[in-house]
Amino acid sequence: MTSQYNFKRITVVPTAAELKDVVLSKTQRKTPTVVHRQYAIGRIRAFYARKIKFLQQTLHDKLTQIINEFPKMEEVHPFYSDLMNILYDRDHYKIALGQMNTARHLIDGIAREYVRLMKYGDSLYRCKMLKRAALGRMVKLLKRQKSSFDYLEQVRQHLSRLPTIDPATRTLILCGFPNVGKSSFINKVTRADVEVQPYAFTTKALYVGHLDYKFLRWQVIDTPGILDQPLEERNTIEMQAVTALAHLKAAVLFVMDISEQCDRTIEEQVHLFESIRPLFVNKPVLIGLNKVDIVRRADMAPEKSALLEKLEKEGIPVVEMSTVTQEGVISLRDKACDTLLAQRVEIKLQSKKASVEDTVLNRIFVAYPTPRDDRVRAPYIPETVQQRKQRMQTSDENIQRDENTRKLERELELELEDEYILDLKKQYLLKNPEEKYDVVPEIWEGHNLADFVDPEIQKKLADLLAEEELREKAGEYDSDLDSDDEETKEKLELARQIREKEKLMTLENQINKSKAGSHVSRLNVRKRERSIGRLEEQMEELGVEIDAKRMKNLQGRSQKPQLGKKIKVGRSPSLSASRPPPRDELGISDKNVSASESFLTLFMTSIVSAYLISSPAYYRSFIER
């Protein structure tokens, strides 16, 4: 794992209830859902065993992702390890991840156990109960880890909000009492925007800003204020600053308030510096006297000034500055950066790698050639180059110009002024220089347009214009075109009459269309062949008497008007198919008729029916028999 860890990539940790719903829903969606008891028992066992294995694998992958994405205390940089111990408690953090790992192994064991028991299921019901028990036990394990899921999600959210700090890069650390001007300094030298307030402990966490110095990227860390008290009595806010001072290889800027407006005297601030001085071992340390716009160092009391002089004698630079007027801010920054750069280079040179051959020192060695004699060998410079150099250095136009050097177009333009014409074709490199100014043919769809242009078209146009002028002079266009002869007038009158007739015919058609729907002729309708009168005539010819009483029903129907079926306009006329006659035409009598009359009626009915389905010749043969 690298020293710079990206905590923002950690996946969101779901709650136990959310994870349960997700995995059960996914198991239902990604596995078969239909099984019948008529299936072979092996197929039923495989159906439910697949669901158990799928749920186990889903939970295994999810828990493995959580365990692997969270940083391990033993693998990260000591700075991050101690910072996480201060913020989240190392023991609690490791126990939560350990419970995730234990739950993963228990879920794998439950799945193996129930897949083995599934081999002994002899019915669909028993296999289903085994699957239900397996899924229930695995989900129950998730519910027991509810507190661990919630804790890890809180840790993930806080880790994602931590600033990205690279422990291996060039770093400046600001430390000191609260409200001495550390946040104001980082706002001045970097692009950070740290909150600044007139009360203490405005900064409660680590803030990082970045700056560029000597084409190198630097990070500046603003730490919370530290109080002068034993280490075990410091709270979480102060311990973050102590962790940064202890584990980061950086230049330390201890900021003091020379005006004592932070409610701390110079003696207390110097005492704090001495108490945390063990954290500055092997680190360049500088002291910044802030707020010199209020009180100058020369105006300090002698005993306070003596404390600062003592620190200077120990080799600790003391720089006066003011974040309000920005006096000394840049000088303090530059001095701290230069000191840290020099120390880093010195450490690299003193390392084992620098002492090995063909490494840093050997690569920076510059070799010089050894002279072999006293002869002077001056560099050869061509004469043309010397002349060109001389022309560039002086504005003398009398210097001889090289014959091979052509004039630039800009020079020609200045020389000719208004008479200059830009000619781009004179520099064309052609085999025949006379072809430079030839007209370039215009090609369209593979054809040269010049081939389709008549070269004598201008001459022909001039001839036509001359001929037209002669005709005008001869008076060919002086005749009255409006005067027509008799034949032309007759044709015009006939054309007018034809147009009027067409208008009248169009108007008549429009009037006819506006009338009611058109009637279709019924000439093609078949004439009715069967009637009551014809029936009576044929019965009399056969010798059968029909009384008016028996024909009562038929006469009543015959009096009704026979309406023809309407024929729709727009379709060809067609005849309806033959249908059986209605019951009143069959001769069925009322219930009051006597038995003898009923027999006679039945006989008549048979005759009428035969008549309706056959010809008169059939009746004669029927009566004779």
* pLDDT value, residue 196: 84
Q: How far apart are CA 275 and CA 60, in angstroms?
A: 50
Average pLDDT, integer, range 260-265: 86
Average pLDDT, integer, range 520-526: 55
Q: Are residues 182 and 151 in the same domain?
A: no
- Hey, which of 133-142, 542-551, 581-590 has the most confident mean pLDDT? 133-142
Written in H, E and C, the secondary structure of 374-430 is CCCCCCCCCHHHHHHHHHHHCCCCCCCCCCCCCCCHHHHHHHHHHHCCCCCHHHCCC
Average pLDDT, integer, range 612-625: 47
- Place 513 in a pLDDT band, splitting at 50, 70 and 90: confident
Q: Is 264 exposed, middle or buried (0-12, 13-18, 19+ CB in 10 A)?
A: buried
Q: Are residues 155 and 184 in the same domain?
A: no
Distance of CA 410 to the CA centre of its chain: 53
* pLDDT value, residue 1: 42
* pLDDT value, residue 602: 55
Q: How far apart are CA 560 and CA 29, in angstroms?
A: 76
Whether 544 is in a domain gets the answer no
DSSP-derived secondary structure for 321-363: -BTTTTBTHHHHHHHHHHHHHHHHHHHHHHSHHHHSSSSHHHH
CATH number assigned to the domain comprising residue 120:
1.20.120.1190
Q: Which of 21-30, 103-112, 290-299 has the lowest mean pLDDT?
A: 290-299
Whether 300 is in a domain gets the answer yes
Residue type, 307: L
Q: Are residues 101 and 197 in the same domain?
A: no
Q: Are residues 104 and 214 in the same domain?
A: no
Q: Which of 250, 274, 273, 276 is nearest to 339 (CA)?
A: 250
Q: Are residues 175 and 312 in the same domain?
A: yes
Strand, helix or coil for residue 244: helix
* pLDDT value, residue 349: 77
| Residue 196 or 560, more confident | 196
Q: Are residues 75 and 208 in the same domain?
A: no
Average pLDDT, integer, range 502-512: 91
**CA atoms lying within 13 Å on the CB side of residue 497:** 6
Q: Are residues 132 and 42 in the same domain?
A: yes
pLDDT digits (tens, 9 = 90+) for 161-172: 988 889 989 999
DSSP-derived secondary structure for 60-77: HHHHHHHHHHSPPTTTS-
Q: Are residues 236 and 344 in the same domain?
A: yes
- Report the DSSP beta bridge partners of residue 318: 287
Which pair of tokens denotes residue 509? Answer: 């058609």
Average pLDDT, integer, range 109-121: 95
Q: How far apart are CA 573 and CA 567, in angstroms?
A: 7
- Place 619 in a pLDDT band, splitting at 50, 70 and 90: very low
| Residue 179 or 574, more confident | 179
| Residue 368 or 220, more confident | 220
Average pLDDT, integer, range 525-547: 74
Q: How far apart are CA 512 and CA 509, in angstroms?
A: 5
Report the predicted TM-score, pTM, of the whole model to 2 decimal places.
0.55
Q: Are residues 146 and 282 in the same domain?
A: no
Average pLDDT, integer, range 187-199: 85
Average pLDDT, integer, range 298-319: 88
Q: Which residue has the tokens 């005849």?
A: 575
Whether 520 is in a domain gets the answer no
pLDDT at 365 over 90: no
Residue length of the chain: 625
pLDDT at 2 over 80: no
pLDDT digits (tens, 9 = 90+) for 269-301: 999 999 999 888 889 999 999 988 888 888 888
Contact status, residue 196 vs residue 187, Cβ threshold 8 Å: yes
Q: Which residue has the tokens 């004179």?
A: 426
Q: What percent of the chain has pLDDT over 90?
A: 38
Range of the structural domain that residue 39 is part of: 16-161
- Place 550 in a pLDDT band, splitting at 50, 70 and 90: low
Contact status, residue 201 vs residue 226, Cβ threshold 8 Å: no
Written in H, E and C, the secondary structure of 245-306 is HHHCCCEEEEEEECCCCCCCCHHHHHHHHHHCHHHHCCCCEEEEEECCCCCCHHHCCHHHHH
- Place 404 in a pLDDT band, splitting at 50, 70 and 90: low
Q: Are residues 83 and 208 in the same domain?
A: no
Please, what is the angle between helix 302-313 and helix 266-275, to 10°? 20
Q: Are residues 147 and 231 in the same domain?
A: no
* pLDDT value, residue 572: 47
Query: Domain boundary residue among 139, 161, 183?
Result: 161
Whether 218 is in a domain gets the answer yes
